[in-house]
Structure 1
C-alpha cells in the first residue's frame, strides 16, 4: 500500500470505527416490544434506512472495499514484477533477435539455395540442408519465445491499468461512504443524540419568505395568525409550520405564547410534541424516532427555512457551531424546539 493511500485510509478507518462504537444499543427502558406507527406516516411506505443501519452498512462496505483494495494492490505489484521480468528477458533475447536478423539478411531465400547448390557432394548437400533446417527451427523457436514474452508483458501492463482503475473506484467509493456517514452524523448530532434511530434522509423544504439574494434573512414581524394558539407568528414561522406538516409530522405543536424571553412571544418559535396531545418525555422508540426525524428535517433544511436554532434531547444546534450539550430550564426530551430568524 502506498504511503499516501495509507495516510488516506487511516482517518477513514478512525471515523468509521468511531461510528461503530457510538452506534450502540439504546437503554432497555427505551425499547418497546412493538413500537406504534408514528401518526402522519403512511404504513405502506418503505421502511426508512436509520442512521444506525447506515453506519453499519458503511462499516461493512468499508471493510469489504479495504480488503478488495489490498488484493488489487497485491495484484498490481505482481503484475509490475511480471512486466520487469518480461522486459529483462526481452533484453536478454535482443542479441539473438539481432543475430536472426543478420542471418536472414545474409542468407535470404536465394542465399539459402546458393548454399545448397554449392555443395560438391551428395553428403555435403544433405549436411548443408540439415544445417539450414536446424537454423530455421532454432530461429523460429527464438522468435516464438520473444513474441511470447512480449505478449506476456503487454497483458501485464493491461492488467496493471485495470487494477489502477479498480483502485480508483474503490477509493472513490470509500470516500463517498465516509462523507455520507459524516454528513448524516454532523447534521443530526450523531448517534449520541439519536441512538442511530433516525431516517438517513429527509424531505427537502421549500424556501421560506424573506430571504435576501445574498442568503441573509429579513427581519419579519408577528403578522400571521398562529394555527396552534390564538396568538400571532411571523410569515417565516408559518412557512416552517406548514413545511413540517407537509413532511408528515402531524402530532401536537404549540408556537406563540405570551410572556417570557426568547422567541415564542415574538412569534418566531414552535414546540413540536412527541405525542398527539400534551407533552411527555420520550419513553419508547416511536417517540424518540419521531423527535429524531423531525429534528433531522429541521437541521437539514435550516438554510431553506431560516432557522436560528433547534433544541432536542439535551442538545442544542446552531448553524454556526453545530450541536452542543444543552441544560436549560427544560431538557427538551418531551418536544423539539425550533426558533426562526
Structure 2
C-alpha cells in the first residue's frame, strides 16, 4: 500500500476547522512536485472553456462590426430618401403650375400657340420651350419618385437586416458573458489554467429529493464499491454518475474513524491516478481534476453536493470557490461531500 493511500485511509481533519482559514480571491495555482505518470490519456479531448470564450468574443466582434456597417448603410438610405423628398418638394410648384395650365387650356400645343402668335418664329420658340418644360419636369418627377421608392424599399429590407444583426450581436454578447460566468463557476482561469472542458455531461437526479427542493436525511445502507464499508444511496448515485461521465481513475469513499462525511458514507476522494494518490504534475492530471470538479459543480443541484475540495480550493454552492488550507492541500484528488 502506498504512503498516499495510507494517508487517505487515516481519519481526516475536520473540514469546518479548515474553513476558518478561508481566504478571498482565488490565486493562480502552481504545479505541485512529485511527478508520477498517470498512465491515462484521453482519446478525444472536449473543447476547452477558454477556447469557447475566445470564439464567442471573436463572433461578437464580427457581429458588432457587421451591425455597424449595416447601420451605416441604413443611415445612407435614410439620407437618400430625404434628398428625394426635397427634390420632389422643389419640383411640385412647377408641376402644379403646369398641371393648372393644362387643366384650364389643355396641354399647350403648337396649334394653340400659333393662333395666339403674331409671328411664326415666336410661336416656334414658345411651343418648343413649353413642351420641353413639360417633358423635363415630368421626367424629373418620375426619376425622383422612382429613386425615392427604391430607397424606401432598400431601407425597409435593411431595417429587417439590422434587427436580425442586432439580435445576433446581443446573442453573442450574452453567450460571451455566460461563458465567462461558466469559467468563474469552475474556478476561473488562474485556478484551472484554462484546462477545463466547456461542458459536462448532465447527471441524473439523485434519489431523496423533497418536494420543496431539499434532500431527505440518509443513512449508510448501500455497499461501497470502493471499500468494504457502507455509503448512503445519494453517495452511491453520485459515484455511479461520476463514473458514467467518464471519470474512472482510482477513488475511495467510505473511511472509518474521525468526524465529518467519510465515516458517514457521504464522501468520496477521486484520485488523478489510475492507482493510489499523487499530486497533479502535467496538463493531463490537472485537467482531469478540473473536469471532475467541474462536473460535480455543474451538477451540484442534481446530485446533492455539499461541497467540493480541489487543488487548495473549496467550493460551496452558496459561496463559490474559496482558498482552502488543511492537512491535505487536495492537489492529488478531488474531494466530494454529499448532503
Aligning the two structures, in what range does the TM-score lie when normalised by the shorter sequence? Answer: 0.7 to 0.9
- What is residue 207 of structure 1 aligned with on the other side? 205
In the alignment, the residues of structure 2 paired with residue 328 and residue 182 of structure 1 have an alpha-carbon distance, to the nearest angstrom, of 30
Alpha-carbon contact 2:91-2:137 (below 8 Å) kept: no
Shifted more, 73-82 versus 264-273: the winner is 73-82
- What is residue 243 of structure 2 aligned with on the other side? 245
Q: Is 2:112 aligned against 1:115?
A: yes
- What is residue 286 of structure 1 aligned with on the other side? 284
Distance 1:268 1:100, change over 3 A: farther
- What is residue 229 of structure 1 aligned with on the other side? 227
Aligned length: 310
- What is residue 305 of structure 2 aligned with on the other side? 307
Alpha-carbon contact 2:57-2:172 (below 8 Å) kept: no
In the alignment, the residues of structure 1 paired with residue 56 and residue 230 of structure 2 have an alpha-carbon distance, to the nearest angstrom, of 45
5+ unaligned residues in a row in structure 1: which ranges? 1-21
TM-score (norm 2): 0.80
TM-score (norm 1): 0.80
In the alignment, the residues of structure 1 paired with residue 171 and residue 306 of structure 2 have an alpha-carbon distance, to the nearest angstrom, of 35
Deviations 1:106-143 (A, max 9, x none): 3446x758726745789276456434432332232332
Query: Whose relative contact order is higher, 1 or 2, with alpha carbons under 8 Å and at least 6 apart?
Result: 2
How far did residue 160 of structure 1 move? 4.7
Alpha-carbon contact 2:208-2:234 (below 8 Å) kept: yes
Question: Given the alignment, which residue of 209, 218, 224 partners 1:220?
Answer: 218
Shifted more, 240-249 versus 173-182: the winner is 173-182
How far did residue 59 of structure 1 move? 2.8
Distance 1:29 1:152, change over 3 A: farther
SS of structure 1 residue aligned to 2:58: helix
Please provide the CA RMSD for this pair.
Answer: 3.0
- What is residue 67 of structure 1 aligned with on the other side? 65
SS of structure 2 residue aligned to 1:218: coil
5+ unaligned residues in a row in structure 2: which ranges? 1-25
In the alignment, the residues of structure 2 paired with residue 120 and residue 92 of structure 1 have an alpha-carbon distance, to the nearest angstrom, of 31
Q: Which has the larger radius of gyration?
A: 2
Alpha-carbon contact 2:206-2:304 (below 8 Å) kept: yes
In the alignment, the residues of structure 2 paired with residue 76 and residue 37 of structure 1 have an alpha-carbon distance, to the nearest angstrom, of 57
